Amino acid sequence: MIRFLAIVAGLFSAFFIFYTIRLLVVTSGLQQVRPGGQGAYIGAVVFPILAIALGWAGIRAWRWAPRKTRQAPQ
């Protein structure tokens, strides 16, 4: 179950990485923001923070999950 949560966190992290890149491309590096488009600036700060936090949480959850190992029959 923990590994599943780690994968979900990793996928959300990848989504926010993609969306950060998309935001910067669409706004030409935040140079062409429409009037009243202050949400772009908020997204430029929040999306990378979410991507890093979810990526870190995914890695930590993956490492914390118990590993099931098989022992060779003797």
CA atoms within 13 A on the CB side of 18: 6
pLDDT in tens, 17-45: 999 999 999 999 988 888 888 889 999 99
pLDDT band of residue 70 (cuts 50, 70, 90) is low
Six-digit token pair at 25?
């491309």
pLDDT, residue 38, reads 87
Q: How many residues does the chain have?
A: 74
pTM above 0.85, yes or no: no
In this predicted structure, what is the pLDDT of residue 19? 96
- Using CB atoms within 10 Å of the CB of residue 47, give its burial: 0 to 12 exposed, 13 to 18 middle, 19+ buried: buried
Residue type, 44: A
